């Protein structure tokens, strides 16, 4: 048995004597520095290939998951991942009663820290996750909000690193709605030095503050960040084309209007023909064949959607180890997206 602390995680550690021990969270993809993100990938790689070495690494630890929205991948990968590390998960179904309706989020925060070791939240409002993180001293992990989906983005770039190697040499094109998944992809790309083009219809561009943050980080890592309404321009020469649903959870009333607006942004054979010859197709799933992507693309050999789904578990196991273990208890760069 080789516990996680035996691996070299020096990039994640600040001198304990000089820095007060405070809790680290993953509310936004920008909460992990570029160095920490690279270390996360190194640990994920080891966990993926030597899972037995980490059995029992989180023995006795307990995770609570509060989900206001449906989930297959995120819930199962957290629960299975926690179990394989020797810990326990408790699922709280909040789909019928949103967090904060029965009692204030800050009171929930101050209760759960007395019982469990970390909180995973899937919410409508990003502010719910920010508030939980603000009021509790245990790690809080964003499992998707209206603003971000950081665990997804980290798994996606980890998948691309497996396929292509050096992430600073590739170009991702995201085509679709500039919301939660696009935001976290952009921030993760910036941290990893990966160039990214985001193509959306007018009125659906990513949040300007997140774009500015990604561009600022990108200037330090060499990542080129492009925001456009031209899907062909975005995908031309790209190594990976990524899309997400046109109607996210909670937007169902807008579905018909969105279908009309997003149809020119469908990822199909014709759009894919502009990408690099070896380009891969990516999607966070669930996917709607015939809407944001055609079956001929998502069911083709160039699709890596199930590799992405698999890697959700490996990356989240590494996140849990880092946040619940000893590796990331210091030096918090708090997300400023309230």
Interface residues toward ligand NVA, by CB under 6 A: 144, 179-181, 244-245, 248-249, 284
Residue 73 binds to ligand CP (criterion: CB under 6 A)? yes
Tokens standing for residue 8: 């070299």
Q: How far is the CB of 50 from ligand NVA (least distance, A)?
A: 29
Q: Which of 152, 266, 308, 316 is catalytic?
A: 152
Q: Which is nearer to ligand NVA, 11 or 249 (CB)?
A: 249
244 binds, among ligand NVA, ligand CP, none (CB under 5 to 8 A by kind): ligand NVA
| 3-class secondary-structure state, position 22 | coil
The answer to whether residue 122 is catalytic is yes
Q: How far is the CB of 285 from ligand CP (least distance, A)?
A: 5
The answer to whether residue 244 is catalytic is yes
Q: Which is nearer to ligand CP, 9 or 298 (CB)?
A: 298
The answer to whether residue 50 is catalytic is no
Instruction: Judge contact between 177 and 146, C-beta under 8 A.
Output: no
Among 28, 39, 44, 74, binds ligand CP (CB under 6 A): 74
Q: How far is the CB of 74 from ligand NVA (least distance, A)?
A: 7
Instruction: Judge contact between 179 and 211, C-beta under 8 A.
Output: no
Task: Please choose, from the candidates 34, 295, 53, the residue with its C-alpha nearest in 3D space to the C-alpha of residue 157.
Answer: 34
Site for ligand CP in 102-161 (CB under 6 A): 144, 152
Q: How far is the CB of 265 from ligand NVA (least distance, A)?
A: 14
Q: Which of 126, 149, 171, 329 is catalytic?
A: 149
Per 3-state DSSP, what percentage of the chain is helix, strand, and coil (rounded to 5)?
45, 15, 40
Return d(Cα 42, Cα 54) in angstroms, integer.
14
Is it true that the peptide bond before 72 is cis, omega within 30 degrees of 0? no
Phi and psi torsions of 175, nearest 5°: -125, 120
Q: How far is the CB of 88 from ligand CP (least distance, A)?
A: 20
Q: Which of 24, 75, 122, 183 is catalytic?
A: 122
Give, in degrees to the nearest 5, the angle at Cα 275 between 269 and 279: 90
Report the length, in residues, of the chain: 338
Q: How far is the CB of 69 from ligand CP (least distance, A)?
A: 7
The answer to whether residue 284 is catalytic is yes
Q: 10 Å Cβ neighbour count for 185?
A: 30
72 binds, among ligand CP, ligand NVA, none (CB under 5 to 8 A by kind): ligand CP
Task: Please choose, from the candidates 308, 309, 287, the residue with its C-alpha nearest in 3D space to the C-alpha of residue 298.
Answer: 287
Task: Please choose, from the candidates 31, 21, 283, the residue with its C-alpha nearest in 3D space to the C-alpha of residue 142.
Answer: 31
Among 164, 285, 326, 334, binds ligand CP (CB under 6 A): 285
Q: Which is nearer to ligand CP, 152 or 330 (CB)?
A: 152
Q: Which residue is nearest to ligand NVA (CB)?
A: 248
Site for ligand CP in 192-251 (CB under 6 A): none
Instruction: Judge contact between 96 and 70, C-beta under 8 A.
Output: no
Instruction: Judge contact between 57 and 6, C-beta under 8 A.
Output: no
Catalytic residues: 122, 149, 152, 244, 284, 312
Residues in contact with ligand CP by CB under 6 A are 71-74, 144, 152, 284-285
């Amino acid at each position: 048995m080789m516990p996680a602390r035996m691996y070299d995680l020096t990039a994640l550690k600040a001198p304990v004597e000089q820095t007060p021990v405070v809790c680290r969270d993953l509310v936004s993809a920008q909460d992990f520095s570029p160095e920490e993100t690279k270390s996360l990938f190194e640990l994920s790689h080891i966990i993926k290939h030597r899972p037995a070495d980490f059995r029992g690494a989180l023995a006795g630890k307990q995770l609570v998951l509060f989900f206001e929205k449906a989930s297959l991948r995120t819930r199962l990968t957290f629960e299975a991942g926690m179990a394989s590390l020797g810990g326990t998960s408790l699922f709280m179904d909040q789909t019928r009663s949103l967090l904060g309706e029965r009692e204030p989020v800050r009171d929930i925060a101050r209760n759960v820290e007395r019982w469990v070791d970390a909180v995973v939240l899937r919410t409508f409002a990003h502010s719910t996750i920010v508030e939980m993180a603000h009021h509790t001293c245990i790690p809080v992990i964003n499992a998707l909000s209206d603003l971000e989906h950081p665990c997804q983005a980290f798994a996606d770039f980890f998948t691309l690193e497996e396929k292509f190697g050096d992430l600073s040499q590739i170009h991702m094109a995201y085509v679709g709605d500039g919301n939660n998944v696009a935001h976290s992809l952009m921030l993760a790309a910036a941290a990893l030095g990966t160039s990214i083009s985001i193509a959306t219809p007018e009125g659906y561009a990513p949040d300007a503050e997140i774009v500015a943050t990604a561009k600022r980080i990108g200037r330090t890592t060499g990542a080129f960040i492009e925001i456009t309404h031209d899907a062909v321009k975005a995908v031309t020469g790209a190594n990976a084309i990524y899309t997400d649903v046109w109607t996210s959870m909670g937007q169902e009333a807008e579905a018909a209007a969105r279908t009309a607006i997003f149809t020119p942004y469908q990822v199909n054979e014709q759009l894919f023909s502009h990408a690099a010859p070896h380009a891969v197709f990516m999607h966070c799933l669930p996917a709607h064949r015939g809407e944001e992507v055609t079956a001929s693309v998502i069911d083709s050999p160039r699709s890596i959607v199930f590799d992405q789904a698999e890697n959700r578990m490996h990356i989240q196991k590494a996140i849990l180890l880092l946040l619940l273990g000893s590796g990331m208890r210091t030096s918090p760069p708090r997300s400023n997206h309230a």
